[in-house]
Amino acid sequence: MTSRISGFYKLSPEERLDKIADKIDLNEEEKSILKGDSKFSIKQADRMIENVIGYLPIPLGIAANFKVNGRDVFVPMVTEEPSVIAAASNAAKLAYDSGGFMTSYSGSIMIGQIQVTDVQDPYGAMARVYENKQELINLCNQQDPKLVSLGGGIQDVHVRVVHTDTEKMMVIHLHVDTKDAMGANAVNTMAEAASPLIEKITKGKVILRILSNLADERITRVRAVFENPFQDDQEAIDKFYKASQLAIYDPYRAATHNKGIMNGISSVVLATGNDTRAVEAGAHVYASVSGQYQSLTRWEKGENNKIIGTLELPLAVGLVGGATQSHPVAKLATKMMGVQTAEQLAAVIASVGLAQNFAAIRALASEGIQKGHMKLHARNLAAMAGATEGEIDQVVEIAVKNQSFKFHEMEEIVKSLNTHGKG
Ligand code: NAD
């Protein structure tokens, strides 16, 4: 199966869905779920969150040209932002011939925190917790026999003493292998169950018992080689490299640089029903572990004008748990990617992040992003300028012809259509 389909972007949504369905074997029912024909019901929504009165459909598109660890994959992305999917697909195409994206994974360990206050002897209590580690481990693992039967469960306990304004607090870390689940509920359950024993051992008071979103023992690393993407243009290579460097040394630039990476990452996280806020929080804190907030990617110049990109971040995503199995589209999204484990899912997600970053820097360091972006954004602007559903295509056509994508220009176009219409 190849993830390359020439002219995919030129097809209608129905034709695109047919092509994808053909390639990855989607049946008619699955196609109708994706098209929104067999609607996501209010009943289903009401089972997911509270006080439901409706839902917000956000478009799902497919990024093409991705090869991840030697396997071609179509990537479902859910986003409201134009040009994200086009940019990811373009960048993936440039990495395709040199083997696509290669990844590694540190394992699926999540950390649960238990905060203990009012401890008389925090360092003595720390020693007592380590002395009783096995009892704690046994107690935690009793909470999740399913996870343990799959080879997961709590692996280790670490203790920290944190000096605060009021006292030396203890923080007990539970290191839990959550396997193919994101693991927040699994870890929180263990943290709550372990707390009475922790209070007994430390003679302190437990307050917080919750997962840490700094999942620094669940790191995905991805690498890609872009073969001479600037066709030996040394000035373009230099600009690309210098643009990437600013994001390492300047937090103002790093924030936007990493936001661009998360454009890709969060779109796939959302498509699969995973927790976008958990992944975003982890990524941004990880970007500042050195003490200064900086880029999550590194770009290097290789021989023969190759550009080598790497991205490293915590990716707490699962194939089970949360909404991943209960939302019909999320379930289909993982099926479409053919991923069997949380590690494989994280590999695809990280690859999209790296591709997204390459595309953004390349555009920013050359013609700028507005030219491509505004053309794709034109439909939103036309609607904002008052074009009716029936007028939007015509307004965009005129805007593209005149290259006029500013809001006041759109308003003029809409006004002129209305004047002519009325006349
Ligand atoms: P979950 O509790 O719905 O499912 C996890 C459970 O599934 C495991 O405990 C295990 O018993 C079972 N399981 C079955 N097959 C498994 C497999 N192959 N691998 C691993 N476990 C398997 O979900 P979760 O992943 O524990 O929690 C995720 C949810 O928690 C998300 O919806 C997230 O939004 C939410 N959440 C997040 C935070 C946070 O990020 N700080 C806090 C609270 C809740």
pLDDT 10s digits, 236-253: 999 999 999 999 999 999
Rounded Cα distance between 205 and 115, Å, is 8
Q: What proportion of the chain, given as a percentage, has pLDDT over 90?
A: 84
**Across all residues in the chain, what is the average pLDDT?**
94
Query: What average pLDDT does this structure show over 394-403?
Result: 88
* DSSP label at residue 320: B
CB 147 within 8 A of CB 153: yes
Distance (Å) from CA 183 to ligand 1 centroid: 4
Query: Among 23, 31, 72, 81, which one carries the catalytic annotation?
Result: 81
Question: Is pLDDT larger for residue 392 or for residue 350?
Answer: 350
CA distances from 209 to 173, 199, 396, 420 (A): 10, 12, 53, 65
- pLDDT beyond 60 at 423: no
pLDDT for position 40: 81
pLDDT attached to residue 382: 87
- Rounded Cα–Cα distance for residues 232 and 304 (Å): 8
Quote the longest CA-to-CA distance of the chain. Answer: 87
Q: What is the mean pLDDT of residues 136-146?
A: 98
Quick check: is 81 catalytic?
yes
**Cβ neighbours around 10 below 10 Å, total:** 8
CA distance 261 to 311: 9
For a pocket test of ligand 1, which of 110, 146, 180, 284 has the largest count of ligand atoms closer than 8 A to its C-beta?
146
In angstroms, the CA 319 to CA 310 distance is 25
Q: Can you read off the two tokens belonging to residue 38?
A: 């067999």
Ligand 1 pocket, CB under 6 A? 144, 146-147, 150, 152, 178-186, 188, 211, 213, 275, 278, 318, 320-323
Considering Cα of 73, then 350, then 104, then 237, what sign does the dihedral take?
positive
* Average pLDDT for 144-154: 98
Q: How far is residue 258 CA from its own chain's centroid?
A: 11
Q: What is the tens place of the pLDDT at every residue in 333-355?
A: 999 999 999 999 999 999 999 99
Helix (H, G, I), strand (E, B) or coil at 114: strand
Tokens 């640089």 correspond to 257
Question: Which residue has 């089972």 as its token pair?
Answer: 47
Cα 341 to averaged position of ligand 1 atoms, centre (Å): 14
pLDDT of residue 384: 87
Q: At residue 402, does pLDDT exceed 90?
A: no
Instruction: Find where tokens 């960048």 sit.
Output: 91
Q: Which of 144, 177, 275, 391 is catalytic?
A: 275
State the Cα–Cα distance between residues 256 and 259, nearest whole angstrom: 5
Residue whose entry in the numeric block shows the structure tokens 């997600």: 349
Decide if 409 is catalytic. no
Kindly tell me if the per-residue pLDDT of 12 is higher than 90.
yes
Q: List, for residues 303-323, the tens digit of each pLDDT value.
A: 999 999 999 999 999 999 999
420: pLDDT confidence band, cut at 50, 70 and 90?
Answer: low
What are the CA-CA distances from residue 10 to residues 7, 86, 257, 280, 396 (Å)? 5, 12, 29, 32, 16
pLDDT band at 280 (very low <50, low <70, confident <90, very high): very high
Which two structure tokens, joined as six digits, stand for 129? 């917790």
pLDDT interval class at 383 (50, 70, 90):
confident
Tokens of 75: 């990537």
State yes or no: pLDDT of 422 exceeds 70. Answer: no
Q: Which residues contact 112 (CB under 8 A, 6 or more apart)?
A: 173, 174, 176, 187, 188, 190, 191, 209, 210, 211, 212
Ligand 1 atom 7 nearest Cα:
321
